[in-house]
Amino acid sequence: MTELLTTPQAKELHRKFVEDVMGMPSGEKINICQQCGTCTGSCPTSYLMDFGPREVIAAFRAGMIDKVVQSNTIWLCTSCYYCTVRCPAGIKITDLMYELKRLAIKYDLAPKQSKNPAMTKYFIDSVHKHGRNHEVEMMARFMLLKDWSLPFKFWQLGLKLFAAGRMPLTARNIRGKDELEKISAYLEAQEAKAQ
Amino acid sequence: MKYLYYPGCSAEATGKAYDASSRAMMDKLGVELVELDDWNCCGATSYFSVRELDSFAIAARNLAIAQEMGDDELCVICNACYTTLAKTNRYMAEDPHVFEAVQGALGAVGRSYDGNVKVRHVVDILINDIGVEAIAERVTRRLTGLRVAPYYGCQFSRPMGSFDDVQVPTTMDRLFEAMGADVITEFDAKTDCCGGMMMLTREDAALRLCHELLVAARQYRADVIVAACPLCEMNLEGYQPRVNKAYGTDFNIPVMYFTQLAGLALGADPKQLAIDKQVVSCASVLAAIPA
Amino acid sequence: MAEEKIAVYICHCGTNIAGKVDVEEVTRWASEQPNVAVAREYKYMCSDPGQDLIKQDIAEHGITRAVVAACSPTMHEPTFRKAAGDGGLNPYLLQMANIREHCSWVTIDGDAATEKAKRILGAQIHRLPLNVPLEPIEVPVNPNVMVVGGGIAGIEAALKLAATGKKVYLVERDPSIGGHMAMFDKTFPTLDCAACILTPKMSAAGKEPNIEMLAYSEVTQVDGYVGNFKVKVRKKARYIDIDKCTGCALCTEACVVRKVPNEFDQGLSKRSAAYIPFPQAVPLRATIDPTRCLTLTGKKCKQPCVAACGPEAIDFEQKDEEIELEVGAIIMATGFQLWDPTPETRYSYGKLDNVITSLEFERISNASGPTGGHIVCKNGEPPKSVAILHCVGSRDENYQEFCSRVCCMYSLKFSHLIKEHLPETEVYECYIDMRTYGKGYEEFYKRLMNEGVHFIRGRAAEVSDVGLSSEEEGRLIVKVEDTLLGITRRLPVDMVILSSGLAPRSDAKATSQIFGFGCSSNGFYLERHPKLEPVSTITDGIFIAGCCQYPKDIPDTVAQAGAAAAGALALVDNATVKVEATIAYIDPEKCSGCHICVGLCPHTAIRYNEEKDAAEVIEAACKGCGVCVAACGSGVPQQRGYLDEQIFAEIEGALAV
C-alpha cells in the first residue's frame, strides 16, 4: 500500500464525499464495515486494483479521499455485484463505487492514465448524438484518442464481425434523440439551482 | 401473448444475433414481440458512472414510452439493460427525490412515467409466464446428450434477485432441461463476471476472467455455453481466439445466445437464428442435435 | 374515613431524574397536596439510607400510606414495598410513581417534565387513600424439579440438584443423554477428551437414585404455575423393554436394515434400524427406529433381532406412553443446533466433496467416529492441506447477525488436531477477528501460532473446484483476501472445514410457547434480565441454562447450569412460595356464568365452578394481567390493587394538576 497522506484539499473533499455517500440509500452502513475482506476476495478485478473495495472503505473512513479517487480502484469495478450480495454488513458496495466514480468525475479527479472515464464519456456522447450507443463509433473514437494498440489487437476480430454484419458502420438516429440532451440539460439546471 | 420488446443497443451491432434469435424463438412459441417505439439507450453502466439522475431519467424515457403504448410490461433481453431499467423502477419507488427528478426531466420533453411498468427479463417470461411444460411441448429438436453450460453473467440475478435466486439462479437451467439437454447444473462459475466493457479498456482483466470461465466450462466438459447478455457472449465467443493467444490455450467451445439454442430446439431455421454469424463455429452443436 | 397520612418521596436518582425534573419544586408542590403529611426528596431512595427514611417516617410520624416517585416499579417496587413491610406498614399501602422511564428519560423540555412529574405523582397521591392492605398468597411448592434436555447443561443441573436430596426428572428427546458434547473429540483449551470428561457425569446421572431418567421422551404440555407445574411427558416407544434390555447390541448387528444415515456421525456413516446411538450411551439400551424398521413400516421381515435377543426384550406392540408429572420448578437445557451452511452457496457445501462442517470434522477426528479417528478426505486419503473458514453464517446480516462465540476456539482446536494427526499437512485459518477471550484461550492461540498454522486475516470469499494451474488442478480452491497483506490469495487445499455458527434449535420458539416464556430476536430463549437474571425467564419457576440461552463454551455452560440449579433449589427448598397479591377475584353472586373470561385468561387461571354457576380465579395461577377485568361485560372481575375506583382516582389525580 502506498503512503496515504491527508491534505487540506483531502479534508474538504472528504467532507463533501461523506455527505454524498451517507445520503445514499444504506450509505450509513459503511460505519459498520467489519473489514472482513469478503468484497475484495470476491472482486474479479481486485488483483489489478491499487487497493480493493475493502481498503477503499477503510481509507474513506480514515478521511483519505484523495488517494482513493486518484487510484485505479473505482475504475476497475465491473459492477458485477458479488461484493454487494456477499457483504455481511449489507453495504451497497457497488453503488458506493458508482458514487465515487461520479464524484471523481465531478471534481475532475480521475487518474489521467485510466481509460475507463474516457470510454464512459465516448459512450455518453454517442448516446446523446444518436439516441442509442453506436458501438463502432464509440470504439473508433476510443482507439483513436486513447489506445492506438487496440487496432492491432482487434483487427482480426473486427473483420470477422464486419463480415458477419455485426459491425454496422453507420448509425441510425432515433426520432427523439434531442430529448436526451434536453433531459440532461434539465437535470443540470436543477442541480445548479439546488447549489 | 404479446410483449413490448426492448432490444438494447448491442442488438443492432455485435449482438444482432441475440435480437434475431429472440424474435425467432418467441415466434415459435406463439408470442408476439412488439418493438418499443423510438427506444433509446438504457445508459447501462456508463451513465451511472457519470450522472446518476440522468441515468434514471433516460432509462425512464423508455418506460414512459411503454406506458404511452398502453402496456405495463417490457420484455428485455440484455442483462445490463434489464438491471438498469429495473433499478430505475426500484429507485423511483424507494426515493421520492429520484421520482421527482425523473418526472421533472421527462416533463421537460413532454413525457411522464408513474413507475408502474414491470421490467421482465426474457428468461423470466419464458419460465414464469409461458412455463416449461408449454415450452417442452413445442420442442421439435430435442437437445438430448448436449452438455449445456448455462452462463447467466453477473447482472442476471444480482443485485435484486427478483425472479431467480440472487446467488444461484436456475431459470435457464430449467429451460434447457425442459428441452432435453444435459444441463451442467454444477457450473458454479455461472454468475462470475466476464469483464464486460473492460474488454476494451483493460483487455488483460477481461481476458483473464474469460479464461477462467472457459477453463471451468472445459473442466465440466461443456459442449456449448449459452449466455443471456450481449457483452458476455461477445467476450466469451468473439474474444475466445484472443484468450487462446494470451494464455496459450486451444479453446474452441461454442458460445451461443441462449435464445439461439432455444430457438434451434423449437425448430427455428439456423439462418434465422444467425448461428452462422458466430466467430467460434457452432457446427459441433448443430451436428450433435439431429433435426 | 379517618384522614390518611401520606408520605411522599421524590428520588433524584442521581441526575437521571433531578437532571431534568425540578425535584425541589415537585417536593414543594407535593407537600401542599391533600392528605400529604410528609414530602421529602432524596438522592437515591433505593439505597439503605433511602429506605430507612420510609421506615423512620412510619415509626415517627405514623405514616399510613406512602408513594415513592422514582424509577419504574419493575425496578424497585419490591424494594420499597419490603422496606414499608419492614417498617410495619402493609406493603400494598405503598405505590410507586414512575417519573423516570415515563418522564425524565423521555421528555426533552425540563418544564414539561416537571409538570408531567406532578401529574404522575398526583395520580398516586389521589388514589392512595383507596388502597387497602393486601396479603400475598402462599402456595405449597412441589419439591421435585424437571430438567428438560440431557446435554452437559442438563446433566450438570440434574446432578447438582440431586445432590441436595431433591428428586429430578431428566427428560431427553434422544435415546441417550450426552447431547453435542458426546460427539466432540477433544475440548478446548485443555484438549481433554470430551467423552472422557463427560461419560463419568453421564454415568453418575444414570446411577443417581434421585434422578429419574426419561430418555427418548418429550414434553407435550405444561400447565400450572410456579411451585405447581403439571407436565405431560410422552415416553416414546423404543419397541424394546428397557427393563429387560442389557444393551448387548446383538440386535443392532442382526438387523437387516443397515443403511440408515447415522445422526450421531452427522450422516457420515450408517446405522441399523435397531440401534444404540453410541457405545457409551446412557441409558445403554437399544431403540428401534419406527420409520425404518421393516416390521414397523408394515413390510415383511424375518426379525433376526428377536432371535438375537437373549432377554426377549423386543416388543413390536409397545406404544408411546403419556405420563403426567408434578414438579415445582423446570430447567430448560435444550441446547443448540449447528447452522446449516447450505444457503451460503459460495462455499459449495453439499455440492463439492470434502467441504465439511465443524461437527462433521469432530466425528472424523474422533477415534469412535466413521473413519476410526483418521483425518481423511472422502477418497480415504489424508489431506495435504486444509482450510478452516471462520464465521460461516455468523456476524452476517444475511444469516445470523450475532457472533457465535466458540467458533474461533474450536477452529484453533481443529488446527491442532490436524497438526497432531498429520504433522506434514498445511493448515490455513481464514478469520476476521480471533476471539480468544476466555481462561487459557489466548495462550491456546499462541500455541497454535507456534504449531505453524497459517493465519490469514480475511473472510473467505468462495470455495471453487476450478483450478487455473497444474498446482490447483483437482483440488479445492479457497479465494480469500489476506487483508493484512492487502492481496487476494487462492489457496489450493484438499479439505475445507466450515466453522459454522451455533443456531437456536428449529423448534425453540414452539418449545418456549409450550412452557410459557419467550425467545429473543436472535431466536434463543429469552432470559429475564441480560445481566442480573441470566438463568430465569419471565415465568416464575422456569429456568434456562446452556446454549439454549445463547452460544457458549463448556465452562460457561456448566457454570450456568449450576446457577439454574441454585435458582430452582431456592424455590423448591421452601415449603411454600409467595404469589403476588394484586390478583383478580370474581364475586360469585354477581357472576352470570357466561364463561367468557374462562377462555380469555392467558394463564388458564380461571375455571368455571359448576356448583356455584360462576367463574372463579385460581389464585396461585393468576398473574394479575387484567384481561378478565376488561373483558367482562358486567364488570364483575376486579383486580385487587387496581379496582375501578382506584383507577378512576388516578385519572382524577392526574387531571387535577
Does any domain span residue C28?
A: yes
Counting one residue from chain B and one from chain C, the pairs whose CB atoms sit within 8 A come to: 21
CA–CA distance, C436 with C407 (Å, rounded to integer) = 10
> CB under 8 Å to C380, separation ≥6 — which residues?
none
CA–CA distance, C600 with C631 (Å, rounded to integer) = 8
The verdict on A131 and A97 lying in the same domain is no
Does any domain span residue C203?
A: yes
3-class secondary structure, B25: helix
The verdict on C449 and C587 lying in the same domain is no
Q: Kindly report whether the peptide bond that precedes residue C143 is cis, defined as omega within 30 degrees of 0.
A: no
Q: Kindly report whether the peptide bond that precedes residue B169 is cis, defined as omega within 30 degrees of 0.
A: no
CA–CA distance, B226 with C364 (Å, rounded to integer) = 41
C39 close to C8: Cβ distance less than 8 angstroms: yes
Pick the residue from chain B with its C-alpha nearest to A121. Answer: B46
Say whether pLDDT at A111 is over 80: no
Contact A44 B108 (CB under 8 A): no
At CA C598, angle to CA C597 and CA C601, rounded to 5? 75
Does any domain span residue C655?
A: no
ipTM reported for the complex, 2 dp = 0.89
The verdict on A12 and A90 lying in the same domain is yes
Q: What is the residue whose three cell numbers read 411498468?
A: B117
The verdict on C74 and C125 lying in the same domain is yes
Cβ neighbours of C461 in A, within 8 Å: 37-38, 40-42, 82, 86
The verdict on A186 and A168 lying in the same domain is yes
The verdict on C412 and C349 lying in the same domain is yes
Does any domain span residue C315?
A: no
Task: List, in sequence order, every residue forming a beta bridge with C139; answer none if it has no partner.
Answer: C577
Residue range B113-130, pLDDT digits in tens: 999 999 999 999 999 999
E-strand stretches of C432-565: 454-457, 462-464, 476-482, 487-493, 495-500, 502-504, 542-544
Which residues in chain C (445-484) have CB-CB distances under 8 A to chain A?
457-462, 479-483
Query: Which of A106, A127, A149 is the C-terminal boundary of a domain?
Result: A106
Give the pLDDT confidence score for residue A105 in this predicted structure.
Answer: 82
The verdict on A87 and A69 lying in the same domain is yes
Helix axes of C152-163 and C194-207: crossing angle, nearest 10 degrees:
40
Does any domain span residue C249?
A: no
Residue range C71-115, pLDDT digits in tens: 999 889 999 999 999 999 999 999 999 999 999 999 999 999 999
A94 close to A60: Cβ distance less than 8 angstroms: no
Q: What is the residue whose three cell numbers read 450509513?
A: A28
User: How is residue A5 annotated by DSSP?
Assistant: -
CA–CA distance, A104 with A66 (Å, rounded to integer) = 10
Residue range A12-52, pLDDT digits in tens: 777 888 888 888 878 899 999 999 999 999 999 999 999 99
The verdict on C450 and C556 lying in the same domain is no
C391–A contact, CB cutoff 8 A: yes
Q: What is the residue whose three cell numbers read 487462492?
A: C490
The verdict on C36 and C114 lying in the same domain is yes
Say whether pLDDT at A8 is over 80: no
C596 close to C631: Cβ distance less than 8 angstroms: yes
Task: List, in sequence order, every residue forming a beta bridge with C638; answer none if it has no partner.
Answer: C585
CA–CA distance, A91 with A13 (Å, rounded to integer) = 22
Smallest Cβ distance to B189: which of C345, C466, C467?
Answer: C466
Smallest Cβ distance to C351: which of B186, B189, B216?
Answer: B186
Give the pLDDT confidence score for residue C350 in this predicted structure.
Answer: 95
Reported as type and span, the H/E element at residue C332 is strand C329-332
The verdict on A58 and A87 lying in the same domain is yes
B188–C contact, CB cutoff 8 A: yes
Say whether pLDDT at C66 is over 90: yes
Give the residue-averaged pLDDT of A114-143.
84
- Chains touching C by CB (3 or more pairs below 8 Å): A, B
Q: Which three cell numbers stand for residue A64?
A: 483519505
| Residues of chain A in Cβ contact (below 8 Å) with chain C | 1, 34-43, 46-47, 51-52, 54-55, 82, 86, 88-90
CA–CA distance, A68 with C315 (Å, rounded to integer) = 75
The verdict on A17 and A76 lying in the same domain is yes
To the nearest whole angstrom, how far is the Cα of B213 from the nearest Cα of chain C?
Answer: 9
Give the pLDDT confidence score for residue A5 in this predicted structure.
Answer: 46
Cβ neighbours of C464 in B, within 8 Å: 188-189
The verdict on C127 and C218 lying in the same domain is no
Residue range C342-387, pLDDT digits in tens: 999 999 999 999 999 999 999 999 999 999 999 999 999 999 999 9
CA–CA distance, C466 with C352 (Å, rounded to integer) = 11
Domain of A97: which CATH number?
1.10.1060.10
The verdict on A29 and A98 lying in the same domain is yes
To the nearest whole angstrom, how far is the Cα of C347 from the nearest Cα of chain A?
Answer: 12
Amino acid in position C59: A
Best mutation target among A42, A128, A187 (most B Cβ atoms within 10 Å) is A187
Output B80 or A9, whichever has higher pLDDT.
Answer: B80
Cβ neighbours of A120 in B, within 8 Å: 46, 49-50
Does any domain span residue A1?
A: no
Does any domain span residue A2?
A: no
The verdict on C433 and C491 lying in the same domain is yes
The verdict on A94 and A126 lying in the same domain is no
Which among C580, C554, C506, C455 has a CA at the least distance from the CA of C137? C580
Pick the residue from chain C with its C-alpha nearest to A51. Answer: C486
The verdict on C497 and C373 lying in the same domain is yes
The verdict on A146 and A168 lying in the same domain is yes
Give the pLDDT confidence score for residue A10 in this predicted structure.
Answer: 66
Strands C495-500 and C329-332: unpaired
C283 close to C206: Cβ distance less than 8 angstroms: yes
Smallest Cβ distance to B49: which of A25, A80, A102?
Answer: A102
Give the residue-averaged pLDDT of B259-273.
93
Which among C657, C625, C655 has a CA at the least distance from the CA of C642? C625
Give the residue-averaged pLDDT of B151-161.
93
Percent of chain C with pLDDT over 70: 100
How far CA C348 is from CA of A26, B106, B187, C461, C472, in Å, comes to 29, 46, 11, 11, 17
Does any domain span residue C281?
A: no
Best mutation target among C346, C389, C434, C481 (most A Cβ atoms within 10 Å) is C481
The verdict on C471 and C430 lying in the same domain is yes
Domain of C629: which CATH number?
3.30.70.20
The verdict on A121 and A70 lying in the same domain is no
The verdict on C403 and C428 lying in the same domain is yes
CA–CA distance, C471 with C465 (Å, rounded to integer) = 12
Amino acid in position B2: K
CA–CA distance, C190 with C188 (Å, rounded to integer) = 5
Residue range B54-68, pLDDT digits in tens: 999 999 999 999 999
Number of folded domains in chain C?
4
Does any domain span residue A3?
A: no
Query: Which of C572, C603, C630 is the C-terminal boundary of a domain?
Result: C572
- Chains touching A by CB (3 or more pairs below 8 Å): B, C
Range of the domain at A141: 116-194
Q: Which residues of C426-439 are buried (b: 16+ CB within 10 A; e: fewer)?
A: bbbbbbbebbbebe
The verdict on A101 and A134 lying in the same domain is no
Does any domain span residue A111?
A: no
Range of the domain at C628: 582-640
Domain of C473: which CATH number?
3.50.50.60
CA–CA distance, C229 with C139 (Å, rounded to integer) = 12
The verdict on A156 and A185 lying in the same domain is yes
To the nearest whole angstrom, how far is the Cα of A120 from the nearest Cα of chain B?
Answer: 5
B34–C contact, CB cutoff 8 A: no
On average, the pLDDT of chain C sits at 95
Reported as type and span, the H/E element at residue C607 is strand C606-609
CA–CA distance, A19 with B286 (Å, rounded to integer) = 57
Give the pLDDT confidence score for residue A6 in this predicted structure.
Answer: 59
Does any domain span residue C608?
A: yes
Smallest Cβ distance to C346: which of B167, B186, B219?
Answer: B167
**Which of A2-16, C164-178, C412-426, C582-596 has the weakest average pLDDT?**
A2-16
Number of folded domains in chain A?
2
CA–CA distance, C524 with C509 (Å, rounded to integer) = 8
Give the pLDDT confidence score for residue A15 in this predicted structure.
Answer: 80
B273–C contact, CB cutoff 8 A: no
Determine how many CB atoms are found less than 10 A away from the CB of residue C209. 7
Give the pLDDT confidence score for residue B147 in this predicted structure.
Answer: 96
Query: Which of A106, A130, A153 is the C-terminal boundary of a domain?
Result: A106
Say whether pLDDT at C220 is over 80: yes
How far CA C157 is from CA of C166, C536, C560, C562, C569, in Å, comes to 11, 14, 9, 6, 10
Q: Kindly report whether the peptide bond that precedes residue C551 is cis, defined as omega within 30 degrees of 0.
A: no
The verdict on C381 and C471 lying in the same domain is yes
Task: List, in sequence order, every residue forming a beta bridge with C68; answer none if it has no partner.
Answer: C9, C96
The verdict on C486 and C397 lying in the same domain is yes
B215–C contact, CB cutoff 8 A: yes
Q: What is the residue whose three cell numbers read 456508463?
A: B46
Polymer length of chain B: 291
Does any domain span residue C271?
A: no
Query: Which of A106, A136, A157 is the C-terminal boundary of a domain?
Result: A106
Smallest Cβ distance to A25: which of B94, B109, B158?
Answer: B94
Which among B71, B3, B68, B65 has a CA at the least distance from the CA of B39? B65
All domains of chain B in start order, with CATH: 2-122 (1.20.1050.140), 137-288 (3.40.50.11810)
Cβ neighbours of A89 in C, within 8 Å: 397
